[in-house]
Structure 1
């Protein structure tokens, strides 16, 4: 069967969706474990060293590529093996135990955990948007047209979270004008992508965002709408009830027939019907953005913490993560998880994944990887590289993905060719932003 014609449509089965929502985690973890391992093994090398960049690339990109393709059946084994290796290296090092009494944890201005979470999202998404076109990519992980909780369903939601968690609450019209400077380029990129794929007749699944909309439009409109909604909040704490209120109203509309209309094979004879998927998802996107903004502001509420205060913060994060997942389990049965509509189950699922990854990043990089005797470079080179030009990296990945699809027929490639093409693709996309990092150039 031609891989381009394979489309995943899943009926509403709560137990299957619940199982899938948990099975996504071992697919994401190899990237985070690679980041941790690279910091342990490469931290003594200069952050601008080409040798460090190449070593980190192998430790991070190779498991990310393989876990999404040829070794997908062994992800659990890989995670256990590498986690054990990391634990042994940390126990052998042991510097974090000595540092505990005197170390000051700076989590206010640019928390390493949030930076890591955003970089991991970019790396995973950059790999998967091309990997999905190969036969080695599991069919069960493709985007769901209706209800589902597969790997590909995470992508757009993680990007919305990545924007929201570092955002500032808009308080006046001057803030909105600053937001427009970010929104306009995203909308321009969305328009450019639509025009280009129309001109070259590039195949696009209309059930993702609609006939004319795409991820850039979704991100730009989400940031604009969320910024306008945040004017209603008088403090950062009010972002939580505001986001939940929007989510409840959105879910009520979906339950009243909007969800069935969006998922139906109806005609696309006007702009609204042609783009019903992307337009109907915007309230859910806005809710997730505001929820992430609240989480980011809560995490950065206190700038400097001692060891005891940091442990208290980790315990609170654990409680928030547990509460998020309990809400996911509770919402699956009445609502399901639907990326296409950004329903309540999907938003809570993404928030649960985000808080869990943030907790792991905090524990590993801010607690276990500190040293009282030597200055560790703050984060892996690839993390700093991608965060400096995250949007640029994503645009490069989109361009290279289209180029590969037009020239190399990925659906006909063997497993070996799949890994080779993906590794070269990852090296090229990361290498381009690494050159910008070396020169201190920030585009977007």
Structure 2
């Protein structure tokens, strides 16, 4: 087995990749999600019987949604653009054939479709975004220990844009999108009581943080100290971000979240530029005392709070009630425009201040994370709109985790079919137990590193291990879902 020091060196001192390559990854998962839905629709139109058995549904979802993501960050990373183009071409050919062969010409009219109503109490593409961020995180935390995983995708040491750097910020953003404040839930009781409840509510994250700390220290598991520090980890960051953000939102209106995000991120950057804080975070080699030992984790919390507040603003906008397709097309347009505007702002930030730094979670990192997250959301929402159109054309509405054309009346058979398809969906499975899925991935990552010599594994072995690891995670979470088990002990 490779020593802990060798493994630390393997994941350290990287400079990331280009903004374009990170952005390219935002297109793969949406086209795969669309492929899965189109397959079910075409299978139904071919007189196939749905739903399948639970094993077949699990295999279908794993093959169409997870396997491409594993391959894209390993053996197919150098030809990712060809993979995306290939899948997208197939998807659009299928869409065209569905449109061309529709039974009623008026049924698939684009104008009629844009003016039609959608039926969903939730925003499906937000659910898909959160699940895919979780899945990509699960893949990356183990894949980074294998040589088949490109080093340019790994977390950067000081400056740069690595795929895993975005994953950390996206995870914070994903939590913010569906927080109570974003969903419009009113504060019950006094504001002080509300804040106290938020402090109590994060105890599982704090506990998990201490459990991870104890297990890492006791097992001698390799640690990248400059990532968060000697004792700090991401669970502590999540807990503090949640409490601070909830406290701010108890005082300020949700509509001002974007302004708070800008003020927090901007002020933090000013402090970095005008004080010795930047030198303290980057160039100080001392690790004596709690603050010095964990400086990256402690001070980067400020940047993650800014990202969280921006996510609350986006979530509040997306959770507003909309019933028409044209309204959601307008939302997608606004998401794309916002993403483009933030990428322009990122260009200005990097010229006028400094490059993106996950280690400090500086202003450039915050702007990049939100811009990239909005691009990813936009791509998923476009895939969802295309899937909705294919449902309208085919008159088959039972693809799970996506919008459905509005129906005045539903038969009992339709309701039963919808529930059956939802119960046999891997995306719904992960969504039911997201924190458990994240924990399971962390546990399996540690176990795999103990059992497998990751650094010296061949590409074939590495991909096989990654696929097996992701399948086991999926199997556990899928079995819990079909048995309607939600693991929530708080």
Which whole-Å deviations, capped at 9, do the CAs of 1:329-351 have from their partners, x for residues lacking one? 21122221000111111111111
Change (3 A) 1:67 1:237: same
Q: Is the Cα–Cα contact under 8 Å of residues 8 and 224 in structure 2 kept in the other structure?
A: no
* Corresponding residue for residue 14 of structure 1: none
Which whole-Å deviations, capped at 9, do the CAs of 1:313-337 have from their partners, x for residues lacking one? 2222222121111111211222210
* Corresponding residue for residue 459 of structure 2: 415
* Corresponding residue for residue 379 of structure 2: 360
Q: Is the Cα–Cα contact under 8 Å of residues 168 and 293 in structure 1 kept in the other structure?
A: no
CA shift, 1:197, in A, is 0.9
Distance 2:272 2:210 in 1: 28
Asked if 1:392 corresponds to 2:436, the answer is yes
- Which range moved further: 379-388 or 390-399? 379-388
CA shift, 1:310, in A, is 2.6
Distance 1:417 1:273 in 2: 40
* Corresponding residue for residue 472 of structure 2: 428
Distance 1:382 1:403 in 2: 23
Q: Is the Cα–Cα contact under 8 Å of residues 106 and 304 in structure 1 kept in the other structure?
A: no
1:146 counterpart SS class: coil
Which whole-Å deviations, capped at 9, do the CAs of 1:34-82 have from their partners, x for residues lacking one? 2221122135543873211111101122211111111111101101111
CA shift, 1:223, in A, is 0.7
Q: Is the Cα–Cα contact under 8 Å of residues 159 and 358 in structure 2 kept in the other structure?
A: yes
Asked if 1:340 corresponds to 2:345, the answer is no
Q: Is the Cα–Cα contact under 8 Å of residues 4 and 411 in structure 1 kept in the other structure?
A: no
Distance 1:314 1:325 in 2: 17
Q: Is the Cα–Cα contact under 8 Å of residues 104 and 307 in structure 1 kept in the other structure?
A: yes
Q: TM-score, normalised by structure 2?
A: 0.84
CA shift, 1:434, in A, is 0.5
CA shift, 1:393, in A, is 0.4
Number of equivalenced pairs = 435
| Structure 1: segments with no counterpart, 5+ residues | 12-16
Distance 2:299 2:37 in 1: 41
Q: TM-score, normalised by structure 1?
A: 0.92
Distance 2:386 2:89 in 1: 17
2:122 counterpart SS class: coil
2:359 counterpart SS class: coil
2:148 counterpart SS class: coil
1:338 counterpart SS class: coil
CA shift, 1:214, in A, is 0.7
Distance 2:192 2:306 in 1: 21
Distance 1:363 1:106 in 2: 17
Asked if 1:41 corresponds to 2:45, the answer is no
CA shift, 1:375, in A, is 2.2
Q: Is the Cα–Cα contact under 8 Å of residues 176 and 308 in structure 2 kept in the other structure?
A: yes
Among residues 370, 376, 380, which one is paired with 2:398 in the alignment? 376
Change (3 A) 1:312 1:251: same
2:373 counterpart SS class: helix
Q: Is the Cα–Cα contact under 8 Å of residues 324 and 352 in structure 1 kept in the other structure?
A: yes
Q: Is the Cα–Cα contact under 8 Å of residues 42 and 52 in structure 1 kept in the other structure?
A: no
The within-5 A match list for 1:105-116 is: 105-106=118-119, 109-116=121-128
1:244 counterpart SS class: helix
Change (3 A) 1:374 1:345: same
Distance 1:48 1:248 in 2: 53
The within-5 A match list for 1:207-286 is: 207-233=226-252, 235-255=253-273, 256-286=275-305
The within-5 A match list for 1:303-314 is: 303-314=321-332
Distance 1:398 1:158 in 2: 17
1:305 counterpart SS class: coil
Asked if 1:349 corresponds to 2:368, the answer is yes
Choose 1 or 2 for highest CA Rg. 2
* Corresponding residue for residue 164 of structure 2: 152
CA shift, 1:10, in A, is 5.8
CA shift, 1:308, in A, is 2.9
Which whole-Å deviations, capped at 9, do the CAs of 1:253-299 have from their partners, x for residues lacking one? 12133122111242111000000000011111111001001001011
The within-5 A match list for 1:141-180 is: 141-169=153-181, 171=187, 172-180=191-199
Asked if 1:83 corresponds to 2:102, the answer is no
Distance 1:244 1:142 in 2: 28
Which whole-Å deviations, capped at 9, do the CAs of 1:60-113 have from their partners, x for residues lacking one? 222111111111111011011111111111222237944615632357x42011
* Corresponding residue for residue 5 of structure 1: 9
Distance 1:180 1:4 in 2: 34
* Corresponding residue for residue 408 of structure 2: none
